[in-house]
Structures are given as structure tokens and as C-alpha cells.
Amino acid sequence: MSFDKVKRNRTIPKPSILRLCKVYSLLNEYKNNTLTTISSKDIGQRLGVASHNIRKDISFLFGESGTIGSGYDIEKLKNQIEQRFGFNHKRNACIIGLDSLGTALLNQRLIINDNFKILAGFDSNINRLETLKTDIALYPTHEITDVVRNHSIEFAVITDAGKEPSRIIDRLINGGIRGIVNFSSTNITSDRKDIFVSNFDLIGEFRYLVALISLNSVINADGHD
């Protein structure tokens, strides 16, 4: 097809973006594998998604990308996603709230891999900052703006936003934050188009499962992945 009618820069459905992120994670597992190609069917099975869904996602983003008959070249697809989604830069991150979840993330380097690096931890409790043993720099929360700006920190994980979540958010935004993963129970929303928030509430997630189970038992099994 030589027609220049490809809608590459049209809007890509959010669910597609999310799935492609998971595809990327999956492809990373094939680093030292003899396998060099993968089919949409394989990807779909691993992710619990239909194969045509995966093909559509990839097509939304790049138009043609695979070799018909033998699937996608793993390295090539990985690089394409990397380029398009900006995974080729290292990103700095910080953790806000050094309770047990926060320190777990800090110490186990749960979110460190090739792409992300935790540069700082924040807590409003000075005692905690003094007693914690870690080689990552710790600061009181009122220094968020400066530290985020000076260390070019783009991402924050919030495990506890204290009694005044909006102040934490304001400081992050003033420092130039771009993305926030929020584990605290208060829902965070961003009114800025260039700052994105992902809320994850464990209790809420449990409740969602309970609700699905309850509704499922009342109504006869309806489709779910």
C-alpha cells in the first residue's frame, strides 16, 4: 500500500495504549530468548486479550509492522513501541509517604529497572526521615517543589498524601511533575492536560471484585475476561 492515508497521528484509544504497554513488558521478557518473532495470537493469549485486538492496537500505532505469515519481529516491535511511547529515556521518580508501603517500594527498588530511577523519598514526619536507613536521599515534604525541580523528577508515587493532599499535589506540579501514581485512598484528579494521574486504591479494587462476584451470582454469568 503506497497510499499516504495512514492515520498514524490520529487519536489512539486509551485502552490500546494501556495494552501496548503490557505488550512492551511482555516483549522485554524475550531478551535472552532464541525466539525472534511472536504472533498476535501468542501475545493475546499471554495477556488474556483477543488476537485481533492486539493486531488492531499495533495497527493504530504504526500501520503495518509485522510480517504477514510469521508474526512480529520481537526486537523491531519493541523498538517501535519504545520510540513512539518515549520509553527510550530514563525517567526520574520519587516516593511520597514513607510508611511501610513507601519504604517497601524504596528499599526493594520495586520500580527500578532500565527506565525508572528513584531519586528521592519524602515524608512529613521528620522522625521517620532520621530513623530510616536507605541510600536514597530523603526530604521533608515541604521541600518537594525544589527537589523535584532540581533533580528533574518527572514521576511520583504517592503512598500517603497526609491530611492535605492538595498541598502535596500543588508542590509536585510546581516542581514540574508529569505523572503521578497514587496509592493513597483519596482520589486525585488533574485538571492540567499535560499532567497524568493513575489512581490505585487497593480497598476499592477489592470492592470491585466483591461487586463482580455478587452481581455474577445474581445474574447468570456474563462475559468477563
Partner DNA sequence: GTGTGTGAAATTCTTCACAGCG
Partner DNA sequence: CGCTGTGAAGAATTTCACACAC
State the amino acid at position 90 in one-letter form.
K
Kindly identify the residues of this chain, within the stretch 63-92, that bind its own copies according to CB under 8 A.
Answer: 84-87, 91
User: Hey, what's the cell of 47?
Assistant: 495477556
Show the binding pattern over residues 47-66: x = contacts its own copies (CB under 8 A), - = does not. xx------------------
Task: Please state the closest distance from residue 135 (CB atom) to DNA, in A.
Answer: 41
Task: Please state the closest distance from residue 175 (CB atom) to its own copies, in A.
Answer: 16
Show the binding pattern over residues 58-97: x = contacts DNA (CB under 7 A), - = does not. xx---xxxxxxxxxx-------------------------
**CB closer to its own copies, 9 vs 127:** 9
Residue 71 contacts residue 42 (beta carbons within 8 Å)? yes
Nearest-angstrom CA–CA distance, 191 and 182: 16
Sign of CA dihedral 215, 221, 223, 225: positive
DSSP H stretches of helix in 69-197: 74-85, 100-107, 126-131, 144-150, 165-175
Identify the DSSP state of 11: P
When CB distances are held under 5 to 8 angstroms depending on the partner's kind, the choice from DNA, its own copies, none that residue 181 binds is: its own copies
Show the binding pattern over residues 100-139: x = contacts its own copies (CB under 8 A), - = does not. xx-xxx-xx-xx-x-xx-----------------------
Kindly identify the residues of this chain, within the stretch 38-57, that bind DNA according to CB under 7 A.
Answer: 39-41, 49-53, 55-56
**CB closer to DNA, 14 vs 193:** 14
Give the helix, strand, coil percentages of the chain, each rounded to 5.
Answer: 45, 15, 40
